[in-house]
Amino acid sequence: MKSGFVSIFGRPNAGKSTLLNALMGEKLAIVSPKVQTTRHRIKGILTEKNYQVVFSDTPGIIEPKYKLHEKMMEAVKNALEDADVALLLVDIKEDWKEADAIFTALKLKVPAIVALNKIDLASEEKIKEAVDFFNAKSYCKKVITISALSGINKKKLINALLEFLPEGQPFYEGDDISDLNTRFFVSELIREKIYELAQDEIPYHTAVLIREYQEKTTLVKIVADIIVHRETQKAILIGENGSMIKKIGTAARKDIEKFIGQKVFLELFVKVKPKWRENEMQLKEYGY
């Protein structure tokens, strides 16, 4: 039996969340073409009869500008500390030297596998060049080519990871697929819809707080606050005659129902909390 922790690192938009979802066969991490969508460290627990791999999807590595960013980079640091293997994800179209500089700066003490992502968008020649480039790096034990969006060779990737994972008993019992609770995933699904439907800059100024999660006999009642830090942002999220908040609510409700397998009554409120991204107490309240 092999058992261990694999942390996924990479620049914003390398495809870390898409990869975690593909490996788990479940939507655990929200996905958006906008950068810095992931703010927390999200664990996915993959258990088979001869192994248990605990994946961590981490926020994209950035220079912190707010306390919120500092919390995000703390999540990266924590994932570094308890990893048995680092899975370094590179978008094949990005600047490899920049990715290499980030991976070198991580000062990895564990074996690392470099996964070259989005290979369906590159020529054979470019793929070979990238493989050679990362194979030459001292932190890299192996290079694997994948396409997280159009389908990965899951078996090939898992086998590569298992080579470097220690033998041992599972860390998590039963059929849990994450260490995070349902409320967390519900708030993330609401946040994903804000990324999808709101203007470009709005998502970065919002947090979602689940105030009520009640399981009734026929449905689950959920009340959530969407936190912004300016009145103008509140107006945009509510929209004309409540049109935007209605759209966000309908789209989020459908995804939440799919995720928890029950009917949902969802109520959303938009609240203004100036400078919440800099406020330690509010960050704690919103789960950071």
Pick from 241, 9, 38, 13: which is nearest to 112 by CA? 9
With a threshold of 0.75, does the pTM exceed it?
no
pLDDT tens per residue, the chain (288 residues)? 999 999 888 887 777 888 888 888 877 765 655 555 555 667 888 998 899 999 987 766 555 555 666 665 666 666 677 789 999 999 898 889 988 988 888 888 899 999 998 888 889 999 999 999 999 999 999 999 988 666 677 788 899 999 999 999 998 887 777 877 788 889 989 988 998 898 777 767 788 999 999 998 899 999 999 999 889 999 999 999 999 999 999 999 999 999 888 999 999 999 998 887 787 777 777 676
How far is C-alpha 60 from the chain's CA centre? 9
* Cα 266-232-202 angle, rounded to 5 deg: 65
Q: How much is the pLDDT for 71?
A: 67
> Residue 207 to residues 56, 118, 188: CA-CA distances in angstroms?
21, 30, 9
Distance CA 18, CA 121 (A): 16
- Which domains are assigned to the chain? 2-164 (3.40.50.300), 182-285 (3.30.300.20)
Q: How much is the pLDDT for 30?
A: 57
Distance CA 117, CA 148 (A): 7
**Contact between residue 66 and residue 56 where contact means Cβ atoms under 8 Å apart:** no
Q: How much is the pLDDT for 276?
A: 79
Which residue has tokens 């699904």? Answer: 189
Which residue has tokens 């500089």? Answer: 101
Distance CA 286, CA 207 (A): 7
Q: How much is the pLDDT for 4?
A: 93
Q: How much is the pLDDT for 178?
A: 80
The DSSP element (H or E) to which 162 belongs, if any, is: helix 154-164
3-state SS string for 166-233: CECCCCCCCCCCCCCCHHHHHHHHHHHHHHHHCCCCHHHHCEEEEEEEEECCCCEEEEEEEEECCHHH
Distance CA 80, CA 150 (A): 28
